[in-house]
A = this chain, B = another copy of it.
Amino acid sequence: MTRQLRQPNDESPLSRRLEGFTLLDDTEQKLVERVETSPKRSFHAGSRICVEGRQFSPQLIITGWACRLTDLTDGRRQIVELLCPGDLIGLGALAYPAALANVLALTTVRTVDASDLRSALKDRQYFPRLASGLELVIAEREAFLLNQIIRLGRMTAYERMAHLLIELDYRLKQRGLSESGSFVWPLTQEMLANTLGLSAVHTNRTLQQLRREGFLELGQGRLTLRRIDTLKSVAGFHPPVLQLSDDATYD
């Protein structure tokens, strides 16, 4: 069974990610492909993929964007992280307990069951490289959570936005979903505001400033970053340093 040629918008975002992290053997590759092609669960925009405090089965996003968010009692709302194709839900701790936050579909989202990936993580001896790869996926996710904390805690609105957009480009590129800084942009300015910890109005103004300065273009559902290198240094963005640990040479 030969590997199929991949289309620019194919449906194996996780395979792509893992390719960048580690070399899987044939069995592992097949396993991931089987997971990615298994029957999809579909959620329409605005529906809840999982509910805070309720158990749920681990899932892998194949298409569409979602987010994890928390609502405060008075209507304030914070998006904790954005989830794109290739992201896993509920694989952080292995035997994940209840969902720690709501997960909301931002567009139509299709997911597959990721229990088999969880098993591979648990019984790492059977699929050692896959397990290592998934651990890097998890570690990378943590790095992005830390980024979110830095953004909200110590950056100006302008820096926050630049930093987030660069991070998104970085993440999407890994999965073959961004080319030369251009990717689909399904986010409402209100959602973006809830991600960046800003008001919708100020989000709008900051977006305009970046546009005026020629750092980004927005149109028909796509966002394009220009002069990314300049932007990166403005926002102080550094890709996370991830490497498989060599168990022997710790310190």
Cα separation A57 to B247 with both chains bound (whole Å): 9
A184 at the interface (CB under 8 A from B): no
Q: Is the CB of A250 within 8 A of B153?
A: no
A23 at the interface (CB under 8 A from B): no
Choose one: B54, B77, B98, B145; the contact of A149 (CB below 8 Å). Answer: B145
Contacts A70-B146, A139-B100, A250-B55; is A153 near B241 (CB within 8 Å)?
A: no
A217 at the interface (CB under 8 A from B): no
A165 → chain B closest CB, angstroms: 17
Oligomer: number of copies: 2
Q: Is the CB of B100 within 8 A of A53?
A: no
Cα separation A50 to B124 with both chains bound (whole Å): 27
Give a binary string over A52-82; 1 marks a CB under 8 Å from any B CB, 0 the rest: 1111110000000000101011001110100
A240 at the interface (CB under 8 A from B): yes
Question: Which of A89-97, A169-177, A202-210 participates in binding chain B?
Answer: A89-97
Contacts A95-B247, A98-B241, A241-B53; is A72 near B138 (CB within 8 Å)?
A: no
Contacts A142-B92, A245-B55; is A78 near B148 (CB within 8 Å)?
A: no
A150 at the interface (CB under 8 A from B): yes
User: 14 A–B contact pairs at CB < 8 A?
Assistant: A56-B250, A68-B146, A72-B154, A72-B155, A92-B139, A95-B135, A95-B244, A98-B241, A98-B242, A100-B143, A101-B146, A148-B149, A153-B197, A154-B197
Beyond the given pairs A53-B241, A78-B154, A80-B150, 9 more chain A to chain B contacts, judged by CB atoms under 8 angstroms and listed by A's residue number, are A54-B251, A55-B245, A57-B250, A70-B150, A94-B121, A95-B132, A100-B240, A122-B124, A145-B149
Q: Give the top 3 A-B pairs by smallest Cβ distance, nearest first.
A: A153-B197, A152-B152, A93-B139
